[in-house]
Chain A
Amino acid sequence: MAMDVVLSAQGLTKTYGAGKDALQVLGGISFAVNRGEFVSVVGPSGCGKTTLLFAIAGLQGVTSGTVTFNGRPVTAPPKGVAVVFQDYSRSLFPWKNNRDNVAFGMARIQGLSAAQKRDKAQEMLDAVGLAGFADKYPWQLSGGMQQRVAIARGLASQSELLLLDEPLAAVDAQTRADMQDLLLDLAIRFKQTCVLVTHDVEEAVYMADRVVVLTRRPTVVDHEIVIELGKKRDQITTREDPRFLAARHDVMTSIRGQRAHAPASAA
């Protein structure tokens, strides 16, 4: 393959507990993410999406399998990977103003003076549309604005790979659409490779170049589909495009099918 693989997961399994209380969450997940790609990972509720994301980020070990980032195995959070968490209110630091919260994202960047970090943080806040809010604190902002600060912090770390853990699950529908477009713009502008983990099928298809569809527990990759809608997306026309609708239908069918099976085998 000529593609430049940034992230690769091979046969990831994760079992919590042992003996008869053992719960196998991940059943051997394998997929890869190429440079510059926006990949959505979508699966039924409770399929271990967050466990998978934490494993990729090096925040949590797996029972077996390997994650590699730029060819090196991931055993701890690697430099060059940033995470935007779902729960922005518990991820930002309420004792720091927004500028300092964003500047905190640069903790791993060497050779920057405090003044340069401040300027860079301001630049990132400008990029997410919060130019005038640098001196405010996160708790003075609305939920959507707080998540923008968290995104700015992720971008500020100058990571190649941005992991998005249902970042828009807690914001209202209107804000959500705006922020989907913001994220897509930023991904292109800052040449970020992105992995979005979500349970929202529409969002997964709308955002992604490729969707990785997961099964229920113990979770494996059901199938992948390439979304051939180009990089430029639009909330109205993209969502009406037959290719969007076909992809949405495909993913939705798969996930609903998974859900329908769940109660029978859980017994």
Chain B
Amino acid sequence: MDGFSAFALLLRFRALVSFLIIVAVWQLVAALGLAPEKYFPGIPAIVSGFLGMVANGELAAAEWRTLLRAMLGLAGASLLGVGLAILSDISPAFRRGFAPIAALIQPIPPAAVVPMAVFMLGLGPKLYAFIIILVTVWPPYFNGVAALASVSDIQIRSGQMLGLSRWQILRQIKLPAAMPEIFAGIRYASTISLIAVVVAEMLAGHDGLGFLLVRKAFAIRIPEVYALMFVCAANGLVLNAIVNAARWQLAGWHLRMTGQPA
């Protein structure tokens, strides 16, 4: 095998290669004793912690709840964000009125919302829905507003020449044209959604990954804590794959046009 085809092989499995490099560096740091073993366990300890949680079923239960909350929250936030963006596009008065509200709410960190939300909504699905949507709605909203405003005037005029109503132009021209940028926002929002769920579970939950993580941390089960951290990271990949599948469905033309890989 010459150098070129070896490189091609590396490129083909690039995701796996990067992952293995991280694992190797991690193990190297642990093996060299650069950090105390108690607080920085090696890969075998983390894997065994992970397998332990798989075996007793606590991981699957927590993972499923967290992922479901993140997915539903993201879906809700995306629909709401795009809905508000459409409203802003139809009504400049709404857009101008809503802008200061958005500017005020947006910088509040998810953790700061939790205590108020607990008082208002108690502990339960409503709490998660509120927190996730409050922090996740912004990227789809802002991208949606920008994308709808920048649809080519010539495309809109082409629709007007065919006697299309305002609503038909929105549905048939503006929304499809805005879809790629909206999805860029949703993709970003998917990460925020995962962070918000875990933070809410840590602060006010009684189940889910965040809750499990806090419990393991208080029990000083360090390998399990690290394993859960890796699970949180993997959830990012899962949600990203789901968003990408939807993106191919609704804006696949743009990915093909710009030659982007999935």
Query: Contact: A95 with B158, CB < 8 Å?
Result: no
> B254 near A: Cβ within 8 Å?
yes
Which B117-174 residues sit within 8 Å CB-CB of chain A?
A: 152-155, 157-158, 160-164, 173
Chain A interface category by residue count: 20 to 34
Query: Contact: A85 with B257, CB < 8 Å?
Result: no
Kindly list chain B residues whose C-beta atoms are within 8 Å of the C-beta of A77: 160-163
CA distance A81 to B160 in the complex (A): 11
CA distance A104 to B158 in the complex (A): 10
Kindly list chain A residues whose C-beta atoms are within 8 Å of the C-beta of B152: 87, 90-91
Which B174-208 residues sit within 8 Å CB-CB of chain A?
A: 176-177, 179
Query: Contact: A108 with B155, CB < 8 Å?
Result: no
> B94 near A: Cβ within 8 Å?
no
Q: CB-defined interface of A52-93 with B at 8 Å, one 1/0 digit per residue?
A: 001001010000000000000000010101110101001101
Which B210-262 residues sit within 8 Å CB-CB of chain A?
A: 251, 253-254, 256-257
Kindly list chain A residues whose C-beta atoms are within 8 Å of the C-beta of B155: 90-91, 93
**A81, A90, A153 pick with most chain B CB within 10 angstroms:** A90
**B157, B161, B164 pick with most chain A CB within 10 angstroms:** B161
Which of B153, B161, B163, B253 meets A94, CB within 8 Å?
Answer: B253
Beta-carbon nearest neighbor of A107 in chain B: B162
Query: Contact: A108 with B157, CB < 8 Å?
Result: no
Task: Give the shortest distance, in Å, between A138 (CB) and chain B (any CB).
Answer: 9
Q: A91-B152, A93-B173 are in contact. Are A79 and B163 (CB under 8 A)?
A: yes
Beta-carbon nearest neighbor of B251 in chain A: A95
Query: Contact: B253 with A107, CB < 8 Å?
Result: no
> A137 near B: Cβ within 8 Å?
yes
Query: Contact: B163 with A108, CB < 8 Å?
Result: yes
Task: Give the shortest distance, in Å, between B93 (CB) and chain A (any CB).
Answer: 23
CA distance A59 to B154 in the complex (A): 11
CA distance A4 to B254 in the complex (A): 47
Chain B interface category by residue count: 20 to 34
Query: Contact: B253 with A95, CB < 8 Å?
Result: yes
Kindly list chain A residues whose C-beta atoms are within 8 Å of the C-beta of B162: 77, 104-105, 107-108, 157
Query: Contact: B160 with A59, CB < 8 Å?
Result: yes
Kindly list chain A residues whose C-beta atoms are within 8 Å of the C-beta of B179: 95
CA distance A251 to B152 in the complex (A): 34
Query: Contact: A90 with B154, CB < 8 Å?
Result: yes
CA distance A82 to B179 in the complex (A): 27
> A31 near B: Cβ within 8 Å?
no
CA distance A137 to B155 in the complex (A): 16
CA distance A264 to B43 in the complex (A): 81
Kindly list chain B residues whose C-beta atoms are within 8 Å of the C-beta of A153: 158
> A244 near B: Cβ within 8 Å?
no
Query: Contact: A139 with B257, CB < 8 Å?
Result: yes
CA distance A85 to B152 in the complex (A): 12
Query: Contact: B163 with A83, CB < 8 Å?
Result: no
Kindly list chain A residues whose C-beta atoms are within 8 Å of the C-beta of B254: 94-95
Which of A81, A91, A94, A104 meets B154, CB within 8 Å?
Answer: A91
Query: Contact: A83 with B253, CB < 8 Å?
Result: no
**A91, A105, A157 pick with most chain B CB within 10 angstroms:** A91
Kindly list chain B residues whose C-beta atoms are within 8 Å of the C-beta of A83: 157-158, 161
Beta-carbon nearest neighbor of B161 in chain A: A77
Kindly list chain B residues whose C-beta atoms are within 8 Å of the C-beta of A93: 155, 173, 176-177
A-B residue pairs in contact (CB < 8 Å), sample of 19: A59-B160, A77-B163, A83-B158, A85-B154, A85-B157, A90-B153, A90-B154, A91-B152, A91-B155, A93-B177, A94-B254, A94-B257, A95-B177, A95-B253, A107-B162, A107-B164, A137-B256, A137-B257, A157-B162
A residues in contact (CB < 8 Å) with B: 54, 57, 59, 77, 79, 81-83, 85, 87, 90-91, 93-95, 104-105, 107-108, 137, 139, 153, 157
B residues in contact (CB < 8 Å) with A: 152-155, 157-158, 160-164, 173, 176-177, 179, 251, 253-254, 256-257
- Known contacts A87-B152, A90-B154, A107-B164; 8 additional CB pairs below 8 A are A57-B161, A59-B157, A77-B163, A90-B155, A95-B176, A95-B251, A108-B163, A153-B158
